[in-house]
Amino acid sequence: MLFAGTCTMQAQVEVEDEDEEEYYEDDAPDSKIKVKNAKGEEEEIDLPEAMSTDVDSLLNLYNTRAYLHPDTTYKWPDINPIYDKDVYKLRLSKLPTVIEMPYNDIVQRFIDRYSSDLRHSVAYMLGAQNLYMPIFEEALESYGLPLELKYLPVIESALNPRAVSRVGATGLWQFMITTAKRYGLKINSLVDERRDPYKASYAAAHYLSDLYKIFGDWNIVIAAYNCGPEKINKAMHRSKKKDYWEIYNYLPQETRGYVPAFIAANYIMNYYCDHNIRPMIADLPVKTDTIEVNRDIHFEQIAAVLGMEVDQIKSLNPQYRRKIVNGNSQPSTLRLPSDMITKFIDNEDSVYNYKNEELLSKRTEVEVDDEMPMFRQTRHPYSHSKRSSRSKRNKKGKKDRSRGKSVSIKDGDTLSEIAARNHTTVSKLRKLNNIKGNNIRAGKKIRIK
């Protein structure tokens, strides 16, 4: 088993067993937080969206259900101790980071939020970090970036690979579509690589590296990751300053809380023990490997033949939006438990053939039946009789049906549609109008009788 960390607690208080469901049920936190500005006036700033995540949605993720469980070893009091601000300052100063972690009242408000209202979400994230932090660290290390940036997804997505913000930012690193595509992530109707922890982590590291080349200050880089470099440049231009805390009042409301939230995330992920937060325990996930497929394949085909759960395949391949690996477009990667790779290869034909027409029913060619069905050409005698009676009673009468009749072709009309509307056949329309093929032009008249 993997643990989020080891706590040395002094004078632990024995408490009665808590109801497990109640313990992991956070009250929905507000979306704003009150702080004091430079003038000492109280104002509200937006919380990063992940700090408003319902903990139940995190606990219902497949990876949570499969690999995480509450730690019932210790009997800790579920209370949040309050410390003097000098204690917080000292703890932040001791973090082994390249990025500065200064203390102020705004940072304190975010630490308080994580250690109180969000303590059960923190317990989840402390367990889930065992699944994701090695990926983050490897990507950051490959670009030579400070490893404390691995806590950005804590405030971006609460370590939920399927997170989607109200503006469409997606995945652990909350990429918008434009930025994601700029850094090589594929997005279409079937695939969204923003949800792929591996590819998204390397794209995020690349983006952060580029931002640092522009600004040269990590707090500014973190802010730019949230709101974009254009808004940072605008704030710098208006304030004529280049320090995050000096351009603070010129930033969007959510970005004002973004760097303080990042500092608070680094604090709580390291000092959770001092706030009586019990991390969820992570069981060692199964080793996985990838195989390339060059045909479309549905998750249900894989699950049925290999004896797996669809949810497990989905959690290992979160980039596929419709449970379909679209290998037909181009060779695509499928991630499976290592012991399933050989089984897949040995049973590949059976996998592809399992309910193929039912699960992958997209047709490549269809024929158009341009003849009217019999029921459209045959009128019910009773209906015909009623229409005849109404026709006789009509004062204006009707034109002689033996005379020719034309209609205007509407935009988008086809011969089949015109024939159906006018109780005739495509063949008759072609003969009446000397039409070869199906070419007709909107606005022109066409004889129907």
> Is 16 considered catalytic here?
no
Which residues face 212 on adjacent strands?
Answer: none
Residue pair 46/34 in contact by the 8 Å Cβ criterion: no
State which amino acid sits at residue 21.
Answer: E
Phi–psi pair at 145, nearest 5 degrees: -100, 155
Planar angle of CA 242, 245, 249, nearest 5 degrees: 95
Catalytic residue among 49, 148, 156, 193: 156
Instruction: Give the burial string for 91-106 (b: 16+ CB within 10 Å, else e).
Output: bbeebebebebebeeb
Exposure of 58 by Cβ count < 10 A (0-12 exposed, 13-18 middle, 19+ buried)?
A: buried
Three-state DSSP at 410 gives coil
Of the candidates 226, 224, 186, 220, the one whose C-alpha atom is nearest the C-alpha of residue 203 is: 186
Instruction: Name the percent of the chain in helix, strand, coil, to the closest 5.
Output: 50, 10, 40
Q: Where are the alpha helices (DSSP H) in 347-399?
A: 348-353, 356-359, 374-377, 381-393
Which amino acids are annotated catalytic? Answer: 156
